[in-house]
A and B are shown apart, each in its own frame.
Chain A
Amino acid sequence: MSEGNAAHNHTGPGHHHHEPHAPSYYVKIWAVLLVLLIVSITGPMLGNKILTLITAFGIAVVKALIVAAFFMHLNVEKKYIWYVLLTMLAAVAIFYFGVAADVQKYNGSNWTKPASYKYDEDMKKAHEAGGHGGEHGAEHGAEAGATHGAAQ
């Protein structure tokens, strides 16, 4: 459908129009988005962690794709706009996977992060005590430097 539309309508500059849809078409898509929103909110109530991840993030991806395809008209846009956007997403993915090995762990092969670990433990304790888990940075300031050095 997209190819046919694209070829038919891209006759010249300034006339880059796809077939107009009736407003009801967009309202239907909006209704689908709202159903997905309700599913993503009610998902966590089932209490299953994996299910929550699927309902929360899986549905976020689906919603984003629906908005991109139908509201942003990427379904009838030239294919390479997808490639531009996916290239940018790929850059983010490269960033994540390159950095997570260092930032997302307490222990590496040559180092540990005692300060980060202590921060996490303190936060948990504060939460159990009913506090807000903040305000305990200043007194440990002196340890800041020793955290990420190579501990060989």
Chain B
Amino acid sequence: MATAIPIATQRSATGIPTGKLALWWVIGSEIVIFGGLLASYLMMRLMYDSWSDAASHTNTVAGAINTFILLTSSLFAVLAHDAAERGKGPQAAGYLLLTIGGGLNFLVVKAIEWTGEISHGFTITTNTFWSFYYTACGLHGLHVIGGMICMGIIAFDAVRGKNLQRVEYIGLYWHFVDIVWIFLFPLIYIAK
């Protein structure tokens, strides 16, 4: 569609570029979504003594590996941002691809982990602990997948040096997804 970018989009009364400002609000709205889910989980986790037994079946090693993977992919995301700031589009795209690779690794570990759990009879309907486990990890996983898709599109542009500011925005989103996992990790895997 032949439409100019509105002047509105180019104004910046706050000093923060419009896209970045919007992304902070997206992160703000996501905080409450994950916050509501994890707060609900936490209440039941603190009430039921038996949930520490249920939690002892979670795979701490897989959780730790995934934390490592996400932290590392966050490093690549911030390096991509760094490269984009210097105007090096192809280098930024390369780092973004590494970040996507991190996301893929995360999902593979997750898949192996879930396969093991389901084959041991722990499914989403087994009891409410596992319902929360699969819902929270699943919601987080969907955010990982969504982030990877957006990152792919942005990397495609970045190779040609187009829309380099978006490299930073997707990075912010990715770090947020990382932070969610940082809290999921102790809630689900460590506290037993």
Contact = CB atoms under 8 A, between A and B. Distances in A.
A23 interface: yes
B15 A10 contact: yes
B59 interface: no
B82 A137 contact: no
> Is chain B's interface secondary structure helix, strand, loop, or mixed overall?
helix
Given A16-B15, A16-B16, A71 B32 contact: no
A19 B51 CA distance: 48
Given A37-B71, A52-B191, A92 B50 contact: no
A103 B51 CA distance: 15
What is the size category of the interface that chain B forms with chain A?
35 or more
Interface string A40-83: 11011000000011001101100110011011100001100100
A142 interface: no
A16 B44 CA distance: 44
A96 B126 contact: no
A130 to B, nearest CB: 11
Nearest to B18: A13
A95 B36 contact: yes
Interface string A77-116: 1100100110111011001100110011110000000001
Interface residues of A, number: 63
B22 to A, nearest CB: 12
Contact of A99 (B15, B27, B39, B72): B39
A149 interface: no
Contacts of A4: none
Contact of A40 (B36, B47, B190): B190
B140 interface: no
B50 A95 contact: no
Interface stretch (B104-112, B146-154, B179-187): B179-187
Given A20-B86, A64-B183, A85-B31, A41 B43 contact: no
Given A41-B190, A81-B24, A88 B35 contact: yes
Interface string A114-145: 00100111011001000011110100000000
Nearest to B83: A23
Interface of B: 10-12, 14-17, 20, 24-25, 27-29, 31-32, 35-36, 39-40, 42-44, 46-51, 53-54, 57, 60, 64, 67-68, 71-72, 74-75, 77-79, 82, 85-86, 120-122, 125-127, 130, 165, 171-172, 175-176, 178-179, 182-183, 185-186, 190-192
26 contacts: A10-B15, A16-B12, A16-B15, A20-B85, A26-B79, A26-B82, A29-B75, A30-B74, A37-B67, A44-B190, A56-B191, A57-B191, A60-B182, A77-B16, A84-B25, A88-B31, A88-B35, A89-B31, A96-B43, A99-B40, A103-B43, A123-B53, A124-B53, A127-B54, A132-B57, A137-B127
